[in-house]
Amino acid sequence: MYYKYVVVGAGLAGLTMAERIANVLDEKVLVIEKRNHIGGNVYDSYNEDGILIHNYGPHIFHTNDQEVYYYLSKFTKWNDFWHRVLTYVDGNLIPMPITVETINKLYNLNLDCTQVEEFLKKQSVEIKDIKTSKDVALSKVGQDIYGKFFENYTKKQWGIDPAELDTSVISRIPIRYNRDTRYFNDKYQGMPTHGYTKMCENMAANKNIKILLNTDFKEVMNEITYDKLIYTGPVDEYYNQKHGKLAYRSIHFEFETFDQEEYQEAPVVNYPNDYDYTRITEFKKLTWQKHEKTTICKEFPGAEGEPYYPFPTKEWKAKYGLYQEEMKKETKVIFIGRLAEYRYYNMDAVVRRALDAFEEFIK
């Protein structure tokens, strides 16, 4: 069986590539997906009570990339959703990320924006050579806030001390000297009006796109010939782990439905210091769905299970480097996405990477 283009993985990276090939080039493309659905980790579905849930944890779209926003807007309308997060600290629910409101509520103060900036400067620890996530946090907010918000949460999330993690982990968390309690301040933010799965179905609607679900690509690749392979799965699996298995962080999700309209004050509540889970999501607060019941999800990070997050330490980046050398030798394979490139991507960055790869390597 011959396909000019074969895509492994039906997440956002794979579907973006397939959509561009099918619609821009009018070429046939085969998408191979090991799960029983498309969409990758943004997949959402209605549970037995009819509540729309995010099966792999909450996904909130946000970007400053106008092209990416307009591109996805061809496949969905958006609810103008502004994400807000609370963190359970010292028995209180405190706004996250760190803002003027956070500091005032945490310490029972009434500081203005300028005073909060001065307050955090006094709290911060001077670190000349910032090498780790712990260094980042201490240099921005000091020991007390680091201990209350970041230290234990990061240990639960990654299973190791923040002092062993790359700076990128905590650098993603903004510190604001204003009263803006939105979790993201990107220009474009929203939730697909009819869900991510519907958006992905629209991306894959072209008759040129054929999708094989429940299929391990290694079991069928001997029967398929191609000119270009776009691979979005774990890179170590592609090479049969010849340089060893790469480490990923996984998450176990526990869903609960309650016979009440509301469970918590915010869509997401973080638990850095209490309980074994890192956060609780209440999906109706993300989707605006009206329902007499509500469903929540607790997240328990771990080392075993589906790979979600590449492990951001020097050791594992170095091991990935061995696979990178293998990838450079490929002439027919394009590696894109979080698992194939062993790096953290937000949704918009995944789509941007795929759009750029299409222009550079395919078109």
Contact (CB, 8 A) for 356 and 67: no
Q: What is the pLDDT of residues 270-292, one digit of tens each?
A: 999 999 999 999 999 999 999 99
Q: Where in the chain is the domain with CATH 3.40.50.720?
A: 2-79+188-247+309-362
Report CA dihedral (111, 115, 117, 120) to the nearest 10 degrees. Answer: -70
CATH number, domain 2-79+188-247+309-362, options 1.10.10.10, 3.90.280.10, 3.40.50.720, 3.30.1300.10: 3.40.50.720
pLDDT of residue 172: 74
* Integer Cα distance of 55 and 355 in angstroms: 26
DSSP strand E in the chain: where? Answer: 2-8, 29-32, 44-46, 52-54, 61-63, 78-79, 85-89, 92-96, 188-192, 209-212, 225-231, 248-258, 268-270, 279-282, 294-302, 309-310, 333-335
Contact (CB, 8 A) for 339 and 11: no
* Integer Cα distance of 252 and 243 in angstroms: 27
Q: Which DSSP letter does residue 150 get?
A: I
List the chain residues with pLDDT less than 70.
none
Average predicted confidence (pLDDT) for the chain = 96
Q: What's this model's pTM, rounded to 2 decimal places? A: 0.95
pLDDT of residue 363: 85
pLDDT of residue 171: 77
